[in-house]
Amino acid sequence: MKYTPKENYKVKKRGMNLKLNYIGIVAAILAFVSLALPWWRFAYSYTMMGISYSYTISLNTWGWSGLPTGAKMTGGWEGFSYGALVLVAIGGILGLVGSVQVEKRGKMLLLGAGGLMILSIIVFAVGLMNYLPNVANLDSSYIWYSGSHPGIPGSTLNTMLYVGFWLALVAAILAFISWVKHPIPTAPPPKQP
């Protein structure tokens, strides 16, 4: 039996067991939190004439952080970064709505949430690999790197997919788990005459 959102209250009133999908709610919350955290980090240090310099910049789904005042990154990051932001946001909304929906509709929303979150991770990673050759002479292998900067002796360069990226991946996995374990309402046993 399918119920519209307006009928959910009536179903509950009739004594049917409706359970929230807490795993789906946690997945949605983690997805939203991942949007506030950096998805990629670039840490660079070097010594020149006895003076040490270091800086760390991060790419979030909403833009760069840690850039010196007035500095701007070359264009091209907006498409994949904002694309990931939109996909995670929509996935989070679907995860929340699917966690309170009954029956197959809720399951399908949770499946869509997990799919959009996985797609956002792929969009971000592929977009970043295509963007890196435009920045600081880094090829796509620098999506995850630790070592010296090519051509600058005595420098240290660390780049990595960062906390927001991995949190979005955890949110996607939890969305798929919540899809599998989504509760289906059950009617109470009929009253015996």
CATH number where 162 lies: 1.20.140
Q: Average pLDDT of 133-161?
A: 75
Domain presence at residue 164 = yes
What is the pLDDT at residue 89?
Answer: 96
Buried b / exposed e over 7-38, threshold 16 CB at 10 Å, is ebeebeeeebebeebebbbbbbebbbebbebb
Domain presence at residue 27 = yes
Residue in the block written with tokens 């932001």:
85
> DSSP 3-state assignment of 51?
strand
Q: Is the pLDDT of residue 123 over 80?
A: yes
Q: Average pLDDT of 111-137?
A: 87
Q: Average pLDDT of 78-82?
A: 88
**Of residues 96 and 150, more confidently modeled:** 96
Within 8 A by CB and 6+ apart from 133, the residues are 139, 140
Helix H or strand E segment including 87: helix 77-100
Within 8 A by CB and 6+ apart from 110, the residues are 21, 24, 94, 95, 98, 99, 175, 176, 178, 179, 182
Going by pLDDT thresholds of 50, 70 and 90, the confidence category of residue 15 is very low
Tally of domains within the chain = 1
Q: Which residues span the domain enclosing 171? A: 19-66+74-180
Q: Is the pLDDT of residue 46 over 70?
A: yes
Query: Which has the minimum average pLDDT: 53-57, 132-136, 144-148?
Result: 132-136
What is the pLDDT at residue 14?
Answer: 47
Q: Average pLDDT of 104-132?
A: 90
Domain presence at residue 193 = no
Domain presence at residue 135 = yes
Residue 38 amino acid letter: P
Going by pLDDT thresholds of 50, 70 and 90, the confidence category of residue 133 is confident
**Of residues 154 and 92, more confidently modeled:** 92
Residue in the block written with tokens 């919350």:
29
Domain presence at residue 171 = yes
Residue 151 amino acid letter: G
- Residue 1: name the closest of 152, 104, 141, 100 by CA: 104
Domain presence at residue 169 = yes
Q: Is the pLDDT of residue 166 over 80?
A: yes
Q: Average pLDDT of 35-62?
A: 85
Q: Average pLDDT of 164-179?
A: 94
Domain presence at residue 6 = no
Q: Residue 83: count other Cβ atoms within 10 Å of its Cβ.
A: 16
Domain presence at residue 4 = no
Instruction: Tell me phi and psi for residue 40, to 5 degrees.
Output: -145, 140
Within 8 A by CB and 6+ apart from 144, the residues are 159, 160, 161
What is the pLDDT at residue 18?
Answer: 59
What is the pLDDT at residue 10?
Answer: 47
